[in-house]
Structure 1
Amino acid sequence: MQELEQRLDSLEPPKPTTILDSPFPFEKGADQHFPTDDLPIPVAIKEGTKIPFNVIVREPDYIRPIYEEQWHSTYWGGRWSYVPSRIHYAQHRIFPFYAIGISAELNFQQNVGIAFPTEINETDLDLYIVVFQTNITDVYTKGNQVVVVGTPKRNGVDVISIKTGDINPSNIEKYLLVQLATDGAELDYSLIEYEPPDYWLQQKQRNEHEKSKKK
């Protein structure tokens, strides 16, 4: 009985409720970090900068599953089985991500259902972007906007990386608005904090400083 109760807890909220925003506690209140100077996509493309991207995965025939085995409530204690989060992921096509923690990387790849290699560079951080059912052709940036341009498809998945050094946010206190667009129209969007190119170097220096204080 206890096991069944634990599985139920991993599947749904404790009480009937309506969730309009993200089901993840760390994303609550993200609206206050929404960039205030975002432009219409055609303007952002025209006035922005076209930046290079690296294709890590391109599987044009990939069929996005409606359910995967790791989302079952018996898998890893139901770590990825929470129904509101499953609906949240299913509603979106574009998912930006930093590989800045083993646990975070595991959670992200298990949630989106796509595994891909990542790299660590102390002074040249990558922002990874997973896009379903779209063939990515170009990436532009303007202020806090990152516009990923592509052609919609019925199937397929692309995983790309861009350098955060190529992004020049107008306000680092606000999130990056990562938009998936076609023909000047937004198909989907996601928000993510901006991390500087030397993120890992800063972490290393911070750790060394903490160690020196303990001596």
Structure 2
Amino acid sequence: MNIADLRKSYEKAELSETDSLADPLKQFDLWLQQAIQGQVPEPNAMTLATVGSDLRPSTRVVLIKGYDERGIVWYTNYESRKGRELAGNPFAALQFHWVELERVVRIEGVVEKVSDEESDAYFHSRPLDSRIGAWASPQSEVIEGRGVLVANAAKFGAKFLLQPPRPPHWGGYRLKPEQWQFWQGRKSRLHDRLRYTPQAGGGWRRERLAP
């Protein structure tokens, strides 16, 4: 089959200004909970886009680990490519794509590290092998083969046993939203697309964008 001929008609739902919630965080929570309840595969997966000092963008999939009025949280290696890029340019974008619900959420904003206390609490809630893995993987660095990771895991496992501390190079980030977009697929490619931006006096301005 010619890939250009692959098409799908989006007809499952709609998103109107009157039915959407005035607070984008509440709208996001509604959609995320519906994705979880609908058993969408990995509803917590989101694409993170950053830009390096060379002005070249890069993306990768990470997992959301928390969200509230302060922003969206995930955890990673601070010395990875995304960590280095965020250190030089703290602006980033996130995207959730819940294919089965024909929905996309895009979030743009500024990123900062979460507190050490938050990072410690989440790190110690992780399974043991994941905690050892945070020590074992020099994320984004060139390695000779998988054997390096296996050897590192064995080394740090023997060193820390059942109580590995949080590595100093590992922790959380929080993106504070400055713009939200909610996209709902519709028939004939006339999709619903709402954008939320902050208003000077507080609250959010909700606008419809052409799809």
TM range (shorter): under 0.3
When the two structures are superposed, what TM-score results if normalisation uses the length of structure 2?
0.23
Normalised to the residue count of structure 1, the TM-score between the two structures is 0.23
Larger Rg: 2
